[in-house]
A and B are shown apart, each in its own frame.
Chain A
């Protein structure tokens, strides 16, 4: 199906384990983003990518690693999960307009629990 998908939708892991959240979009959008959503903090940007092999930090990047070898995929890895990383994670993509300011389209989210 066309659109933006995330997997897994739910994940429970233990402190110290490595976890990778997957994001895939079929629109060939240049820009992709990872957010986390926590009560009281809204949506906060973790990492973003302007194109394949181009990534940069957002507001809360510590403890996370991203890669983008292909335009359509943007995996997010928690190298050593901590309880504070329990959250709902959203991936988004954007076509990208000259001068900035484009609509970001969001995936369904991954609910991650770190025990």
Chain B
């Protein structure tokens, strides 16, 4: 899962396996969460999001689970492929203050996913 520090968590899987990447978020007031994928030399790419009124959301080959009780978020990737190798970030939105219509994202440190053929 995510952690603060110089050494990013790593996950190594075989092609075709399912991957689970974990993230512990910090603020119980966070109401919106996003998973991003970042390949080497590129900007973060949106994967999937979930709002705090949901426990689970599914996309194409990906599922995000939210456990608000323990402030935990996970990303499940089905049938992982070599192209899924990247750094995965979770981000939480603390919400717009004073009724503003945007919120600032706070990013986790990231998890390195390596998929072996």
Q: List the interface of chain A (C-beta within 8 A of B).
A: 30-31, 33, 39-40, 42-45, 48, 50, 58, 90, 92, 94, 96-109
Contacts and interface: CB of A to CB of B under 8 A. Distances in A.
Grouping DSSP codes into helix (H, G, I), strand (E, B) and loop, the B interface class, with mixed when no group exceeds half, is: loop
A42 B89 contact: yes
A96 B51 CA distance: 15
Grouping DSSP codes into helix (H, G, I), strand (E, B) and loop, the A interface class, with mixed when no group exceeds half, is: loop
Contact of B43 (A39, A90, A99): A90
Interface of B: 5-6, 31-32, 34, 36, 41-46, 49, 51, 89, 93, 95-96, 100-105, 107-110
A107 B5 CA distance: 25
B105 A104 contact: yes
B101 A99 contact: yes
Contacts of A97: 101-102
B7 to A, nearest CB: 9
Contacts of B44: 43, 90, 106
A48 B101 CA distance: 13
Contact of A109 (B5, B43, B51, B100): B43
Contact of A50 (B31, B42, B100, B107): B100
B97 to A, nearest CB: 9
- In this complex, which of A90, A100, A102, A108 has the most chain B Cβ atoms within 10 angstroms of its Cβ? A100
B46 A101 contact: no
- Sorted from nearest, which 8 A-B pairs have the closest CB atoms? A101-B32, A100-B96, A100-B103, A106-B43, A43-B107, A40-B6, A101-B93, A100-B95
B3 to A, nearest CB: 11
Contacts of B89: 42-43
A68 B20 CA distance: 40
Contact of A31 (B46, B93, B102, B108): B102
Given A101-B93, A106-B44, A108-B42, A42 B109 contact: yes
A45 B100 contact: no
A104 B31 CA distance: 15
Nearest to A6: B43
Contacts of B43: 90, 92, 106-109
